[in-house]
Structure formats: structure tokens, C-alpha cells
Structure 1
Amino acid sequence: MTDTTTLDVTRTALVATDTPARWAKQLASHLGRPGKMTVEETDRGPQLAMAFDDQQATCLMDTTAADTLGLHVASSTEEAAERMTRVVGSHLERFGAKVGLTVTWG
């Protein structure tokens, strides 16, 4: 992954859930398969990273709050931010459909 100082396009979503670590683990396991994204464990939770067409994006899934999964995207371009938010948001909403998880990016 490139130096994070070049990842200056950001998006954040706070997802209400009483099991943030569960959803982060499931998402990291699913998206971290070879050929999709890389996953790095941090002290705040898993961080996804992807690179395509000379663009890069990361998504830190912050599991430190008891009742919220924080999704923090940083990317090199608007296109990369859009792609990461679309992939992470749609997968999380699909996985959490039975419990009504919703992702709203800001």
C-alpha cells in the first residue's frame, strides 16, 4: 500500500450494531480473499486495502465502540472512494439484512 499521506479523499459511516467485531470479521473474511482486497489487523479493527488502475483505497473497520461499527475510508481519488464505499456498504447491508444494518456515508 502506498504512503497514507496520499490518501486524502475520505468518507465515514457509523453503523449502529451491538456486535461491531462480528460484522467487521465477516466482512474482512469475505472481502480479504485473494484477488479482491488485502486485510491488515490493527488495534482498532481490520483494515481493508485495494488498488486498481493506479488508484488506492483503504477502509478501517473500527470495532472499539461497543454499539457502533465505524467505517473509515481513505483513498487517492474520488473514484476509488466511491468504489470502496460501494463495495463495503453493499456487502455489509446484505450480510446484516436480517438485523436491519444500514450504511450511510458522510
Structure 2
Amino acid sequence: MTFTSHARVDTDRPARYLKQLCSHFDRKANSTFDEEKGRTDFEFGVCEFLVEQGALVLDLTAGDLDQLDKLEFVVGDHLERFGKKDGLAVNWKRD
């Protein structure tokens, strides 16, 4: 069984944050990305990134709820810290 969570974060610079997150996470996890989408494979789950007009979409998948909690925290915390000047906020919605 897998558990999923999603967020759509409004920003005028979604491609910038995609690149920044994937580059940062690639130091400890496997990240791949281009200007429109990205993916980071953590030990505790997967985050897929998608650039949309005016937003960065985050899709998380994990094997259990504890891993999903950790994934939401790690990805959300990093994006909010990177986007502090832009006032970015991540609100997760679980399936």
C-alpha cells in the first residue's frame, strides 16, 4: 500500500524553486529535473515536482504514514525556507 499527499504552492517563480529544491536534495538523495518537472527519490519516499503557470505542484508518495509525515516535513520545510522572502506556504492534502 502507498500513501500520497499533494500541494500546489502559488509562486511567480516555480521553475526557480524546482531547480533549487532538486539541486539541494540531490546532495543526499537521487534527483532529476528539467525546467518543467523533477523527481527526488528519498530513502523514505518520492517527491515529484511539476511547474505550472503561477505554481509549483508537489506530489508525494510513501510506503507508510510515518514516512509520509517525514516527507511532507522535509519538502515543505525546505520550500518554505527557500521561499521565505516570497511568503511561500505549503498546505498538504492527503488522498
Q: TM-score, normalised by structure 2?
A: 0.90
The answer as to 2:33 corresponding to 1:45 is no
Larger Rg: 1
Tell me the CA shift for residue 41 of structure 1.
Answer: 3.0
The answer as to 2:65 corresponding to 1:74 is no
Tell me the CA shift for residue 40 of structure 1.
Answer: 2.4
* Alpha-carbon RMSD: 1.6
| Residue segments in structure 2 that go unaligned for 5+ positions in a row | none
Tell me what 2:80 maps to. Answer: 93
Question: Once the two structures are aligned, what percentage of the paired residues are identical?
Answer: 34
Equivalent pair of 2:3/2:63 in contact (CA under 8 Å): yes
Tell me what 1:15 maps to. Answer: 9
Q: TM-score, normalised by structure 1?
A: 0.81
State the alpha-carbon separation in 2 of the partners of residues 18 and 71 from structure 1. Answer: 16
State the alpha-carbon separation in 2 of the partners of residues 94 and 42 from structure 1. Answer: 22
2:24 is aligned, of 5, 17, 30, to: 30
Equivalent pair of 2:60/2:68 in contact (CA under 8 Å): yes
State the alpha-carbon separation in 2 of the partners of residues 29 and 102 from structure 1. Answer: 20
State the 4+ residue runs in structure 1 displaced beyond 2 angstroms: 40-44
